Structure 1
Amino acid sequence: MSVHVTKSAAGLYFENVWLWVADHDVEDPALTQITIYAGRGLLVESTAGTAWLVATAVEHHVKYEYQFANTKNVFAGQIQTETAYYQPNPNAVIPFPTVASLFDPVFPVAVVNGIPNADGWGLRVLASQNILIYGAGLYSFFNNYSTTCSNQGNGEVCQNRIFSIEGAVSNIDVYNLNTVGTHYMITRDGADLAIYSDNLDGFVDTIALFRSN
């Protein structure tokens, strides 16, 4: 994974940090698109203090970009994700095996109603508390390098789901959630809570505030 903040870590402060898996060959004048596999983005498990993530981005990992697992007291302001451009070819099950000790997600069937259902999560919150997301852009622009799936008015069919909340959670607050290319904007324990068509906002789809119970 790109960064693992362990359970005992304290005093975490990230500002203007971009955890990026290359999607273009920057040494090529044509900026040719390339496929590089990196399994996991940012995993936060810390329970020893407050974790501050200010203007950070995590992009193009296989299984997830941000994952908060069994953690508490996290502030994440202005986060951004992009789903791997090559997905679902292959999808998030390949090439890395599921590792239970890292709380890896188990993905459902690959396609539902013609929409990829096993693309990497942009944001996954698992059994955590006191998580404040103050501005999030969770973007899925591509399906196997084609942007047709994210064209405005095309049904947001790059992937089915991008933001998952799972297990015993409390005080999960998300302000200004924006998604692109994603059919369902918020999923709780496998149940879809918000669909893009109820939250149209130009090119993006926007929810001003979501709060868990």
Structure 2
Amino acid sequence: MRFSVGEVLPGATILDIKAAGKNPGDVGLWNTMVTVGGTTETSVKDNCNNQDTSKCMAAYMVAHLTESSSAYLENFWGWTADHNLDGGFSKTIISTGRDVLEATKGTWLTGTGSEHHWLYNYNFHSAQNVYAGLLQAENPYMQGDGATQTAPAPWTAESSLGDPDFACAAWAFFNGEWNGDYGSQCDGSCQTNMMRVANSPENLVWYSIGTRKADVMILDDQSNPSEYNHSCGREAVLQAYRQFAS
């Protein structure tokens, strides 16, 4: 199953899950994609190539698991396109807002990916009773030094959704304008902080975290594990993060 937008819709929440069901797993998605751009059925594919991402604010939110929901997601991919799949491989520049989980009744994320959303890829905001295994994320390419728009612009940070204010982080991947050349990555560290843990959550346990080309793997204002201290070949790996384990 695949969900998408047919055109640039800056107010769109593409997938909004509110249901819970009587038993765990009654509500579920398997082998499901939410895509923004990149495919031939949407005008986003051909109309978004301006370095000024305010010209292509294609969707407000890719997926939203609300407080009332309880869902099982397996093999789920939320993708803001960084290139076109149909009609030949070509550059595309799209700004999609966010991906938010606020569920409290039990949520299972198994083998999920969230890529290239402008503000962040995963936000567990006031969520409880969450299992998340085998998560994968990639940041948008056209941020950091030399970028036309610096996060949160062109969007506005929404405190009600737990959006960060971006005062403490520089988010980047290729670091600057995106020309479609995957071989022109930034040298050394491209990003200040990769992930953010705020408000001292209860019983947060995180295993096998891998990051690449960032200074701080997890900014938590306490341990702040760095890539330098957890080097593992071409990236950094933190086998267990238990700063807030109960």
When normalised by structure 1's length, the TM-score is 0.77
Q: What is the identity, as a one-letter code, of the residue corresponding to 2:218? A: I
Deviation at 1:77, TM superposition (A): 0.7
The answer for unaligned runs of 5 or more in structure 1 is 110-116, 120-139
d(CA) in 1 for partners of 2:185, 2:84: 22
Checking the alignment, whether the CA contact within 8 Å between 2:173 and 2:191 is kept in structure 1 is no
SS in structure 2 at match of 1:46: coil
Deviation at 1:91, TM superposition (A): 2.1
> Counterpart in 2 of 1:92?
151
SS in structure 2 at match of 1:9: coil
> Counterpart in 2 of 1:112?
none
Deviation at 1:21, TM superposition (A): 0.2
d(CA) in 1 for partners of 2:95, 2:185: 23
Checking the alignment, whether the CA contact within 8 Å between 2:142 and 2:173 is kept in structure 1 is no
Among 164, 175, 179, the alignment partner of 1:105 is 164
Bigger relative CO (Cα 8 Å, ≥ 6 apart)? 1
Checking the alignment, whether the CA contact within 8 Å between 1:59 and 1:81 is kept in structure 2 is yes
Alignment of 1:59-208 (within 5 A): 59-88=115-144, 89=147, 90-108=149-167, 117-119=169-171, 141-144=173-176, 145=178, 147-149=184-186, 154-155=187-188, 157-189=189-221, 193-208=224-239
Deviation at 1:28, TM superposition (A): 3.7
The reply on whether 1:9 has 2:69 as its aligned counterpart is yes
Q: What is the identity, as a one-letter code, of the residue corresponding to 1:45? A: E
Checking the alignment, whether the CA contact within 8 Å between 1:59 and 1:82 is kept in structure 2 is yes
Alignment of 1:49-60 (within 5 A): 50-60=106-116
The answer for unaligned runs of 5 or more in structure 2 is 1-60
Change (3 A) 1:61 1:192: farther
When normalised by structure 2's length, the TM-score is 0.67
Among 32, 38, 44, the alignment partner of 2:101 is 44
Checking the alignment, whether the CA contact within 8 Å between 1:165 and 1:188 is kept in structure 2 is yes
Deviation at 1:194, TM superposition (A): 1.1
d(CA) in 2 for partners of 1:101, 1:184: 26
Deviation at 1:192, TM superposition (A): 6.0
SS in structure 2 at match of 1:39: strand
> Counterpart in 1 of 2:13?
none
Checking the alignment, whether the CA contact within 8 Å between 1:184 and 1:192 is kept in structure 2 is no
> Counterpart in 2 of 1:113?
none
d(CA) in 2 for partners of 1:205, 1:118: 18
Checking the alignment, whether the CA contact within 8 Å between 2:223 and 2:243 is kept in structure 1 is no
d(CA) in 2 for partners of 1:28, 1:162: 33
Q: What is the identity, as a one-letter code, of the residue corresponding to 2:67? A: K
Rg: which structure is higher? 2
Q: Which runs of 4+ in 1 moved over 3 A?
A: 145-148
Counting matched residue pairs gives 176
d(CA) in 1 for partners of 2:230, 2:141: 24
Which structure dedicates a bigger proportion of its chain to strand? 1
Q: Deviations over 1:91-132 (max 9, x none)?
A: 2221111112222111116xxxxxxx332xxxxxxxxxxxxx
Deviation at 1:36, TM superposition (A): 0.4
SS in structure 2 at match of 1:183: strand
> Counterpart in 2 of 1:132?
none
SS in structure 2 at match of 1:198: helix
